[in-house]
Amino acid sequence: MNPVYLDHNATTPMRASAIDALAAASRQTGNASSVHAWGRRARATVEDARESVAALVGAKPDWVVFTAGGTEANNLAMRGIVGRVAASAVEHPSVLKARDDIRPIPVDADGVIQLEAVESADLVSVMLANNETGVIQPVARVAEIAKIGGALVHCDAVQAAGRRAIDMNALGVDMVSLSAHKIGGPQGVGALVARPNIRLEAVLRGGGQERGVRAGTENVAAIAGFGAAAREARDGLTAMGAFSASRDKLETEIHTVAPDAVVFGAGAERLSNTSCIAMPGVSAESQLMAFDLAGIMVSSGSACSSGKVAKSHVLAAMGVADDLAETAIRVSLGWTSTEADVERFIAAWSDLYARTRSVVRKVA
């Protein structure tokens, strides 16, 4: 039986166009900073990708600073600004742990930022969509409030890019973080899209690349793949939006089988592809192993770099009790997902739920 991959929020398969672009650039030699013919060719590849990445978020090409991924982009945004910093309590760890003086902004039970708690700061960071729950934040409203106090606004759009339309001007933000492997590009490349009036302190120093704020020879091949993925992701926004029907079907059928199942963030607007579901009484780790044995790949939204299931700071910020949070898994659809994949997951989830309830009844 073919495996079912439903962990697209962790990474999504590379698109054929991105593989082709990466391979073509890999066959060429040239440092994008060199002035000779091969260097100019490498520079042209980088600048072509820069245009495509900028278009994905309604920005201008010269706003794009290429990085080694979303984590570095977030660190550059957080550490590149001097002054007081506030961020929502459900941000990715690469935002919350980028510096020690970040003031957390609380969220409600659905994981939506409490607008009345947005205080004055030099920089406010709020993600567009949460990586664990898919909950969409009211970024434009946050930006309006923050700018009254003169704050700059950063938005981690790593999970939202390619899944919903993004326009930096409409959002009113100053900086946006992106990651290629979330939209079908290669791993190890991302971007911080920052307005040119933003004075960023370089985190990596020693060269004048990327507007002088990100030293190091550009990864031309990966950047080429990023550009190709950005173009295709932008064209596929309508198809991604259609996944909401599959997600709703998944949640409805699970609730039919298990009325005690909990979908986190269900009362808020969410990404069309994401569902964070608790199976009360069954640990996330046990679920992940059971699904893996069934050929289905999902994740705990709180999976850490060691591959272990860690406590979710997102669910904790939402006020979810530890014993319930420990039973949550994340299902995330992507551009390769099919209705058959969803059906396989529903069947496997329902089977596991029935088996665990049978054990409970026998013990009782």
Catalytic residues: 304
Residue 351 tokens read as 């089977």
* Cβ contacts of 142 within 8 Å, gap of 6 or more: 113, 115, 118, 124, 126, 153
Residue 124, CA distances (Å) to 89, 250, 256, 268 in order: 12, 35, 41, 22
* Cβ contacts of 270 within 8 Å, gap of 6 or more: 129, 133, 134, 135, 136
Output phi, psi for 54, to 5 deg: -60, -45
Question: Within 13 A of 243's CA, how many CA atoms are on the CB side?
Answer: 28
Residue 301, CA distances (Å) to 130, 177, 201, 255 in order: 10, 20, 32, 20
DSSP 98-124: S-TTEEEEPB-TTS-B-GGG----SEE
Residue 245: CB atoms within 10 A of its CB come to: 12
Residue 189: CB atoms within 10 A of its CB come to: 29
Residue 98, CA distances (Å) to 37, 72, 119, 132, 277 in order: 39, 9, 20, 19, 29
* Cβ contacts of 37 within 8 Å, gap of 6 or more: none
* Cβ contacts of 256 within 8 Å, gap of 6 or more: none
Residue 313: CB atoms within 10 A of its CB come to: 18
Q: Quick check: 124 and 78 in contact, CB under 8 A?
A: no
**Are β-strands 190-194 and 175-179 bridged in parallel, bridged antiparallel, or unpaired?**
antiparallel
